[in-house]
Structure 1
């Protein structure tokens, strides 16, 4: 697949009017293909593989939050990056998830061509599926280069999306606690 992607990148460069034989571009199609495969490696992963049994019995029934998880994704409309952070919370119901697994779930879905709205929902539903939590919340804040580099060119725009499931959706106080905790300074 890498060779095929490399050929496509070469055709794109030629279509832009570039000389693919010039020194600076000789290996660019191969490098671009390799980079795109890395940036989209989430397609080769599953939640089950990532979690790998790291679900542990626990009496904890209080909210667990992992905030400021950096994420890098590609807008499916323009293939330009969006960069930001995810805040993920869940209320356990007898089991807790290994800490790094939450960040790995975020990365798996972010490393696919995406729109932020879907990314937020996919993360929330995966955490819910794995943990069987009483409630799950995900908030993503990101800057989109498709808004910054082209189109309206708004450099300071930030998109925020949220998905709340279960008790974090139904109980106003619990939702407010989550939102207050992700906004608190370190």
Structure 2
């Protein structure tokens, strides 16, 4: 479980092609401070497991399913990536509840700079639109953000200077692909309501019938 508050910008050291998977080696410092083998670290919003640790390098195995459904497909040496350790029970929840399970890949379609912030528009798979609401939460490349406006298959977010400076969203360009994770609470509510609507209606007791 994560919060969407990026702790560090790491650097991809190497990518080893394993046929139906890749082994990703990433250089980092902060997120390795208390990391151990088997721990979870979110990389651009994808929950990955620490496979090896050596100094400031760690590796993770990325399966074909993840490559098929996230922007980690095509990652290469030298790329910067957003990193976040799994949240601990005593940590402030500064963002929102993030699982590190990518729901789809979006594309940056425009960036509109202002004096103190930047408005970014992102397209998304059409089936994710129902989970977004204005001023609700969305995770973009592992960054917890507030939706400014949602319209059909696209939405906008405002990036403050801190986000621009400390995450990959500061350098993402129009046309770049980004990982998206919608609010898990919205998905749970949708399923609960669907079950309620599908449940058969129990017949009312006939209290006025003849004995």
TM-score, normalization by structure 1: 0.23
The structure with the largest alpha-carbon Rg is 2
Q: Which structure has greater helix proportion? A: 1
TM-score, normalization by structure 2: 0.21
Q: Which structure has greater strand proportion? A: 2
Structure scoring higher RCO (CA < 8 A, sep ≥ 6) equals 2
